[in-house]
Amino acid sequence: MNDKAVPEVLVKRSEIEDAVSRLARRINEDYKDKSPVLVAVLKGAFVFMADLMRQLDMPLETEFVGLSSYGENTQSLGKISITLDLNCDISGRDVIIIEDIIDSGLTTAFLLDSLEERQPASLKICALADKPSRRKAPVVIDYLGFSVPDRFLVGYGMDCAEKYRNLPDICFIED
Ligand code: IMP
Ligand code: MG
């Protein structure tokens, strides 16, 4: 991918809005009498969480977690660590992990294990996008926006070398 590559739209902003509303309706129903903690995985999920949370009508809290995977390329190699931890105790809390995209599933599987040890009352996953064809670790996505083909996506929070997060649509870049 070079700097001059022009991202092409895969999912338009209006379709993203519809998907976010659909997910928010389900979460509003499922967490009607609850007070969940939304945990956004930095950096990619912050745009999605910002839109989603404004359509949620229960009392909620927001937290951020930073994860890094070490490797020579852009693909997760399974060696993952927490670079920024939550600011609150989630034991006994209803936690919803907010992810931009689940690819191999290794990052999410690691985060699930790590948060499960803290004994939340419940732990669910809400992801904007899923690339099921690349799964290495089985992950059940409770709330999913889009199933997408195996292409490198940018926009709506997702980056390529830290660029393109500000694009309002979900786009892909041709190699
Ligand atoms: P996984 O561990 O392979 O599931 O990868 C998870 C993380 O890699 C995601 O949370 C993203 O931050 C990043 N990622 C995976 N695929 C893409 C993509 O197509 N565009 C941008 N980031 C991606
Ligand atoms: Mg991410």
Query: For ligand 2, a single-atom ion, which residues have Cβ within 5 Å?
Result: 41, 44, 100
Position 5 scores a pLDDT of 76
Cα 27 to Cα 21: distance, rounded to the nearest angstrom: 10
Positions of the chain with pLDDT lower than 50, given as ranges = 72, 76
- pTM, rounded to two decimals: 0.94
Nearest to 62 by CA among 45, 49, 47: 49
Q: Three-state SS for 52?
A: helix
Q: For residue 43, is the peptide bond before it cis, meaning its omega torsion is within 30 degrees of 0?
A: yes
Tell me if residue 103 is catalytic. Answer: yes
Position 165 scores a pLDDT of 98
Position 70 scores a pLDDT of 65
- pLDDT by residue (tens digit) across 47-78? 999 999 999 999 999 999 999 876 545 554 55
Position 72 scores a pLDDT of 46
From the list 103, 130, 142, 150, the catalytic residue is 103
Q: Where does residue 78 fall: left (phi above 0), alpha (psi -120 to 50 degrees), or beta otherwise?
A: left
**Burial environment of residue 99 by CB neighbours within 10 A (0 to 12, 13 to 18, 19 or more):** buried
CA 140 remoteness from chain centre: 13
Q: What is the DSSP letter of 158?
A: B
Is 97 within 8 Å of 112 (Cβ atoms)? yes
| Ligand 1 atom at minimal distance to the Cα of residue 104 | 3
The reply to whether ligand 1 has any atom less than 6 angstroms from the CB of 141 is no
